[in-house]
């Protein structure tokens, strides 16, 4: 991730005293995998009213920078509009150096701040100040975070063409944050995503949400802005096929794409009578259009926004007696970062319960109906400390079953989840832990596990197998890892929908197989506001869709969300996302072939074919975004 900090400081003298940013403490960032090129624009203009407001916003930016884990970070710090004109600092790659530069700018704005400024100046400067970012060989998503008090109709109208250029030519994700106002009428028109803060001092929840939003396209790569078109003259020994197109994609970032063309090394295709077609070699395509070469969008991980019915299931034994303070400390560190409440009203709040288990049975130590405060939970944990004479075994299956029963008996709008703290593993009884954990998962209750040291030191691998994919940890895991695991308990689909899970990663996509036949041109999913036809744009997604179809009601053809307007247009997924050439078409495309669908071949693999969407009816697969910390859904 490259971070460029642009200080849009059009300055004048002021006597306000600076807040004295402290750079002595190295923060523990939360967002470790945020491969984007990030620029942060600070408005220090007269629109900020006074220097105290500027100082508060600078402090908020320092807090925002503390959200990221630094490693590959390159920081290009720029300032403009002060008495010396425009200037910039050399690249930095650590938080401390960036913080020191931010402190310099704080001092500078306190002596020369609050001149008139415009959004046009800010965006033009961002485009022209440094060409090197536009030639970044990584071609990662450019993210521009604009924090400003300017919400003027004329200023926004003047800046709209520049913002459009940033989005369409340079694939910039623009995040606006309107500060010092309770609402924002005009500024969001420039943005891909927008936020509003009534204060100049941003709340931590808002800062976390901004940081999370800046990372949603982490690892996504784009072609450079000036994409060369394919040659108009055929390569030696070839002629241009009739379905070669090169037209702008309606993708939201305006990226320019080219439809896949056939390689001359592929098996020959049968041409329609009267045509002669040879093929260009296909252009290189990314291995995946998703984050970190993944197979879908990642679920949000903003733990403060979690909406969970969370049961902590804790082992009672002589082993955990010796480690009870460490277990309590871990649990309290986790729940202190949640927004606790047992209100029945829908919102980003969580309820906590505590259940302990030993060989004799289980006990509810803290319940959902109790006043949800960290103090009350701590008191309950202190009272729940096991006795020293307990044995080294405990009924882990009974603890999990008790949690499932309690969650079933006390439902709410929240997502049910379990965090298991265990040190030993006993599968000698009839209650088998794997069976108990599978029962919870079948009821769409995810499990996170935290393994503590056992006397024999062999229990971790067995305990970790009880966790939902990717949600196992140990007593040595960092708090940020535990908070991430808890946040992913919110990553869940509604009943009847199937969550995309690949290689222990649960993605924010849910699939539903509709076994009702319809022409693809007229296919509608259940909720037209949230549901779209499935994107089958990676091998794992194609495989997942194929398995879903095979398990429910097998068929050989399935409609998915690939289409084009006509034979001169680019193929896109659901008229939004670019088609990068996977899957490759397994047929010659005629002018009337405008809908792509999956068809099972004679070798029992799924291949991509196309037709006019109005000749043959097919079953279809829909998808929608899953619930996660940022997205409350009806379960």
Percent of the chain at pLDDT exceeding 90: 45
User: What pLDDT score was predicted for residue 78?
Assistant: 67
Which tokens go with 492?
Answer: 């869940």
> What is the residue-wise DSSP string for 540-565?
HHHHHHHHHHHHHS--SEEEEEEE-S
The most confident of 73-87, 450-464, 585-599, by mean pLDDT: 585-599
Q: pLDDT digit string (tens) for 276-302?
A: 333 333 333 334 566 556 788 889 899
User: What pLDDT score was predicted for residue 346?
Assistant: 86
Checking if the pLDDT of 90 tops 60, the result is: no
Give the confidence band of 448 by pLDDT, cuts at 50, 70, 90: very high
Q: In whole angstroms, what is the distance from residue 317 CA to residue 312 CA? A: 16
Q: pLDDT digit string (tens) for 211-253?
A: 878 877 776 665 554 433 333 333 333 333 222 222 222 222 2
Q: Which among 132, 194, 126, 218 is positioned nearest to 163, based on CA atoms?
A: 126
Q: In whole angstroms, what is the distance from residue 300 CA to residue 483 CA? A: 12
Domains and CATH numbers, the chain: 2-12+32-218 (3.40.50.410), 303-490 (3.40.50.410), 498-624 (3.10.100.10)
Q: What is the 3-state secondary structure (H, E, C) of 5-65?
A: EEEECCCCCCCCCCCCCCCCCCCCCCECCCCCEEEEEEECCHHHCCHHHHHHHHHHHHHHH
Q: Which among 606, 607, 614 is positioned nearest to 587, based on CA atoms?
A: 607
SS3 content of the chain, % helix, strand, coil (to 5): 25, 25, 50
Q: In degrees rounded to 5, what are phi and psi of residue 450?
A: -125, 110
Q: pLDDT digit string (tens) for 33-53?
A: 677 778 888 887 888 888 898
Checking if the pLDDT of 133 tops 60, the result is: no
What does DSSP say about strands 618-625 and 532-533: parallel, antiparallel, or unpaired?
Answer: antiparallel
User: What pLDDT score was predicted for residue 258?
Assistant: 28
Mean pLDDT of the chain: 80
User: What pLDDT score was predicted for residue 592?
Assistant: 94
User: What pLDDT score was predicted for residue 533?
Assistant: 96
The most confident of 5-14, 118-127, 375-384, by mean pLDDT: 375-384
Give the confidence band of 259 by pLDDT, cuts at 50, 70, 90: very low
Q: In whole angstroms, what is the distance from residue 356 CA to residue 364 CA? A: 7
- Prediction pTM value: 0.56
Q: pLDDT digit string (tens) for 494-539?
A: 999 999 999 888 999 999 999 999 999 999 998 888 899 999 999 9
User: What pLDDT score was predicted for residue 137?
Assistant: 58
Q: pLDDT digit string (tens) for 311-321?
A: 999 999 988 98
Which stretches does DSSP call E strand in 414-544?
415-422, 446-451, 472-474, 498-502, 505-518, 532-533
Q: In whole angstroms, what is the distance from residue 338 CA to residue 309 CA? A: 11
């Amino acid at each position: 991730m490259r971070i460029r900090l642009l200080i849009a400081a059009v300055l004048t003298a002021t006597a306000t005293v600076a807040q004295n940013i402290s750079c002595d403490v190295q923060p523990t960032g939360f967002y470790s995998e945020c491969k984007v090129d990030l620029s942060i624009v600070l408005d220090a203009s007269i629109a900020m009213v006074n220097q105290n407001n500027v100082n508060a916003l600078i402090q908020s930016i320092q807090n925002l920078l503390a959200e990221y884990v630094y490693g590959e970070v390159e920081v290009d710090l720029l300032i403009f509009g002060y008495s010396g004109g425009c200037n910039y600092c050399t690249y930095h790659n650590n938080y401390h150096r960036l913080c020191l530069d931010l402190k310099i700018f704080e001092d500078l704005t306190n002596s020369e701040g609050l001149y008139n400024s415009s959004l046009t100046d800010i965006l033009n400067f961002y485009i022209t100040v440094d060409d090197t970012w536009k030639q970044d060989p990584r071609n990662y998503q450019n993210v521009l975070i604009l924090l400003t008090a300017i919400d003027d109709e004329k200023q926004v109208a003047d800046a709209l063409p520049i913002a459009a250029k940033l989005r369409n030519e340079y694939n910039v994700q623009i995040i606006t944050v309107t500060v010092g106002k309770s609402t924002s009428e005009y500024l969001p028109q420039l943005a891909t995503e927008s936020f509003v803060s009534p204060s100049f001092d941003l709340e931590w929840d808002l800062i976390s949400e901004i940081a999370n939003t800046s990372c949603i396209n982490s690892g996504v790569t784009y072609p450079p802005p000036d994409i060369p078109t394919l040659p108009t003259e055929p390569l030696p020994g070839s002629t241009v096929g009739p379905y070669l197109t090169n037209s702008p994609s309606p993708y939201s970032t305006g990226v320019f794409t080219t439809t896949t063309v056939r390689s001359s090394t592929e098996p020959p295709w049968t041409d329609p009578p009267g045509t002669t077609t040879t093929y260009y070699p296909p252009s290189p395509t990314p291995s995946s259009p998703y984050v970190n070469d993944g197979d879908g969008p990642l679920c949000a991980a903003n733990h403060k926004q979690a909406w969970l019915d969370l049961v902590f299931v804790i082992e009672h034994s002589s082993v955990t007696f010796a480690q009870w303070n460490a277990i309590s400390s871990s649990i309290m560190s986790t729940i202190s970062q949640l927004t606790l409440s047992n209100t029945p009203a829908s919102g980003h709040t969580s309820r906590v319960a505590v259940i302990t288990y030993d060989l004799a049975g289980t006990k509810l130590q803290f319940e959902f109906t109790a006043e949800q405060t960290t103090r009350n939970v701590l008191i309950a944990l202190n009272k729940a400390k096991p006795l020293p004479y307990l044995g080294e075994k405990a009924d882990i299956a009974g603890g999990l079953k008790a949690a499932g029963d309690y969650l079933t008996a006390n439902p709410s709008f929240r997502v049910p989840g379990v965090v298991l703290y265990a040190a030993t593993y006993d599968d000698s009884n009839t209650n088998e832990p794997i069976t108990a954990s599978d029962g919870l998962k079948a009821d769409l209750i995810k499990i996170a596990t935290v393994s503590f040291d056992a006397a024999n030191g062999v229990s971790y691998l067995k305990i970790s197998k009880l966790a939902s994919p990717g949600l196992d940890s140990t007593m040595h895991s960092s708090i940020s890892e535990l908070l991430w695991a808890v946040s992913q308990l919110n990553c869940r689909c509604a009943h009847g929908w199937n969550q995309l899970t690949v290689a222990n990663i649960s993605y924010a996509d849910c699939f539903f197989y509709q076994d009702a036949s319809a022409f693809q041109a007229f296919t509608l999913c259940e909720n037209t506001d949230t549901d779209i036809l499935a994107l089958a744009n990676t091998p794992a997604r194609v495989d997942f869709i194929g398995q879903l179809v095979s398990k429910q009601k097998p068929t050989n053809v399935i409609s998915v969300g690939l289409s084009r307007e006509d034979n001169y247009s680019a193929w896109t997924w659901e008229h939004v996302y670019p088609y990068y050439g996977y899957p490759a078409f397994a047929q010659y495309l005629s002018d009337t072939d405008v809908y792509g669908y999956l068809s099972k071949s004679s070798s029992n693999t799924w291949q991509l074919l196309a037709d006019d969407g109005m000749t043959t009816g097919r079953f279809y697969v829909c998808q929608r975004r899953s619930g996660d910390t940022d997205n409350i859904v009806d379960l």
